[in-house]
Amino acid sequence: MRKSPRERRLQSDLESLQQLQEESSIFSFETVGSSRKLPTKYRLKFRGDGIKKTSFAGVQVSSKHVISVDLGSAYPRLAPGLLWETKIFHPNISNNGVVCLGGYGKHWVPSLTLCEMSTMLWDMIRYKNFDSESPYNREAAHWARSQPVHNFPIDKRPIRNLIGQATPRQPIPSPPAIANTPPLDQMPVIEVTEDGIEILESGIEIIDTKFTASTPNRRTAEIMFLD
């Protein structure tokens, strides 16, 4: 059965979030509701430095952030519903968790994907993206303008922080230098094993010795270097 434009968009959003999760140690998500249908509700999770304020500890760094997302029946024609579940102290997020998306709040762009929005939310968390001139939280706006402690963004990592950080392959060690090693037939044999393997003084083990008709006294061999 052919999918509707909305279903194709929901599928695309899900796949892009899965890709983002693979490329980030900061971002993860879970779907909410039936697993038999394309998800329309999510909980986005971020692990990284942001700011929260509590009545007993004041302003402090917070490292766990959760946002609920509701892709309503009119999505993507209309913006999704966003609500911050964890405490956060930010000029553009109200005390009850309502998020201001700036220009997108008034002039929503249907092409803005959920993955791109997740990047915007991470930039808000780490104070890379904030507007202290038109705040939802005036106290946080004043703090952002006047605080002397933090350099913004508080967390320097981009959301796709695992890209380009693959462990480099270790170089294969070179064999011992043999430039100054004398010919095999001139090396004294210091031991012959029960299997007929000759071990030379230089530490070279003769595994398979062959003689040629033209040089019957010269060894040609498969060799192995001993540690």
Within 10 angstroms of residue 190's Cβ, the number of other Cβ atoms is 11
116-174 residue pLDDT tens: 999 999 999 999 999 999 999 999 999 999 999 999 999 999 999 999 875 555 555 55
Residue 133, burial from CB neighbour count under 10 angstroms (0-12, 13-18, 19+): exposed
pLDDT tens track for 29-55 = 999 998 788 999 999 999 999 999 999
Sequence-distant (6+) residues with CB within 8 A of 223 are: 184, 204, 205, 206, 207
Of 146, 168, 193, the domain-final residue: 146
- Residue 96 falls inside a structural domain: yes
Q: Quote the pLDDT of residue 198.
A: 57
Residue located via tokens 């309503």: 72
Q: Coil, strand or helix: which one is 85?
A: coil
What separation in angstroms does the CA of 66 have from each of 30, 51, 54, 129? 11, 13, 17, 18
User: Are residues 212 and 132 part of one domain?
Assistant: no
For the chain, the domain total comes to 2
Task: Please confirm whether the linkage preceding 5 is cis (ω < 30° from 0).
Answer: no
Q: Give CA–CA dist 213/141, Å, rounded.
A: 91
155 vs 66: CA distance, rounded Å: 17
CB atoms within 10 A of CB 109: 10
Q: In this structure, are 9 and 66 located in the same domain?
A: yes
In terms of domains, do 138 and 191 share one?
no
Q: Tell me, what CATH number does 100's domain have?
A: 3.10.110.10
159 inside domain: no
The verdict on 190 and 138 lying in the same domain is no
Least confident residue range of 23-37, 186-200, 213-227: 213-227
For residue 192, the enclosing domain spans: 184-225
| One-letter amino acid for residue 21 of the chain | Q
Question: Could you say which of 90, 117, 146 is where a domain stops?
Answer: 146
Q: What is the mean pLDDT of residues 201-214?
A: 46
Return the structure tokens found at 76.
């993507």
**Of 86, 120, 146, the domain-final residue:** 146
Cβ neighbours, 10 Å, residue 38: 17
pLDDT recorded at residue 217: 46
171 lies in some domain: no
* Residues 94-112: tens digit of each pLDDT: 999 999 988 888 889 999 9
Share of the chain above pLDDT 70, in %: 73
Q: Does residue 57 lie in a domain region? A: yes
DSSP 17-68: HHHHHHT-SSEEEEE-S-TTS---EEEEEEEEEEEEEETTTEEEEEEEEEEE
In the prediction, which pLDDT does 104 show?
Answer: 86
**């462990």: which residue's tokens?**
167
Token pair 């997302």 is at which residue?
A: 69
Write out the two tokens for 5.
């434009």
